[in-house]
Amino acid sequence: MSQIELVSQQYRAHFGSDPQQVIHGPGRVNLIGDHTDYNDGFVLPAAINFGTDIAATQRDDKLVRVLAVDCDNETVEFSLDDISFNENKMWANYIGGTLLALLKAYPNITGADLVVTGNVPQGAGLSSSASFEIAILKTFAALNAIDLDGIQAALMGQDAENNFVGCNCGIMDQLISALGKENNAMLLDCRSLTFEHAPIPENMALLIVNSNVKRGLVDSEYNTRRKQCEAVASHFDKPALRDVTLEQLLAAENDLEAELVKRAKHVITENTRTESALTALQNNDMEKMSQLMAQSHLSLKNDFEISTPEIDFLVDTIAAQLGSEGGVRMTGGGFGGCVIALAPKYLVDAVTQKIAATYQQQTGLKEQVYVCVATDGAFNR
């Protein structure tokens, strides 16, 4: 049974009728370019074939009723006229915050009955939250016949996460979930919100391995890293690290705390790597892509200090299998989550078997492997 059929069936069981709309918001994986987005830099994500599905019917009042299948069938009810932070059900705040952002631009939207489910692994760094936000926005836009575009939706999702949920995320997750393109990654300029699609070669798979080292962005050191980056940009009197060169940073090394220099060095060099990755993909140059992803991982590990021993073990194990035919690195906010490998399809089984034979024995944790394809974003469907 497809996800669409499943969520429709769950809607019928709960509300006793067929839904008017069934909407999908994809998750994402970032091939390269981590912690560059909130520094006005470059990222290279792809929307993936895992995401959030919402079955919905419009109401003629302001009431929103939600069944969250994946949260033990918990329910919430609230009015669009009275949205407040829910201390007991954190998942509900992604809905409330997103709708508050939508209401600023479209105050006359009406309520809805919703059933929500998804298959993005929670806490793995594949952006289940942005997938959820974009799916909510697409749902309410469809129900209310609003001509909402993907960039508007992405900014609203980011607003919800920054100002309601309490995580200072950048724009990448929401924008790729909204506007991703099938069989492509996206080089996104997080300052101008312009983007260029980067073809993923037909013989390559997106192999995502969840370390099952759990982390929550809101509770992690994510916000600390952001403040450190802002402190360095402020030192140079620049709006963001995007505007600081590596030469400028190294020349000012003695004027900054060593830790701040390391954080900024990662971001500045990662921007360069991410732009180079677009060219590598366009030229089907996997040897170059392999080098760039390896350099990115080492930078995240040593300069940004957000990797873990388990993640490093996975990266080293997969890299040994791929050689220069593919690339691998940690991906996401850090402190756990997933690694992403761009792997030739013929090597996927060998990589998977090698991880299965070694990872749990080494770490005591059981990995989960997802072989993914790049899909269209919610606002490209």
Nearest alpha carbon to residue 339 among 184, 204, 152, 213: 213
- The 3-state DSSP class for residue 50 equals strand
Give which of 197, 165, 53 is closest to 117, Cα–Cα: 53
Residue type, 300: L
In single-letter form, the type of residue at position 103 comes to L
Q: What are phi and psi of 299, to 5 degrees?
A: -65, -40
Q: Using CA atoms in the order 343, 188, 125, 308, what is the torsion angle rounded to 10 degrees?
A: 70
Distance CA 374, CA 240 (A): 30
Q: 34, 40, 113, 173: which one is catalytic?
A: 173
Angle formed at CA 351 by CA 317 and CA 307, multiple of 5 degrees = 40
Give CA–CA dist 380/149, Å, rounded.
Answer: 10
DSSP type of residue 108: T
Token pair 């392999």: residue: 290
Tell me 374's DSSP state. Answer: B
H/E stretch holding 30 reads: strand 21-32
Angle between helical axes of 309-322 and 348-363 (0-180°, round to 10): 150
How many Å separate Cα 268 from the centre of its chain? 21
How far from 42 is each of 24, 173, 198, 246, 355, CA to CA, in Å? 26, 13, 13, 16, 31
Rounded CA-CA distance 80/112 in Å is: 10
* CA pair distance 174, 154, nearest whole angstrom: 5
Active site includes 219?
no
Q: Are 114 and 73 in contact (CB under 8 A)?
A: no
Which residues are annotated as catalytic?
A: 173
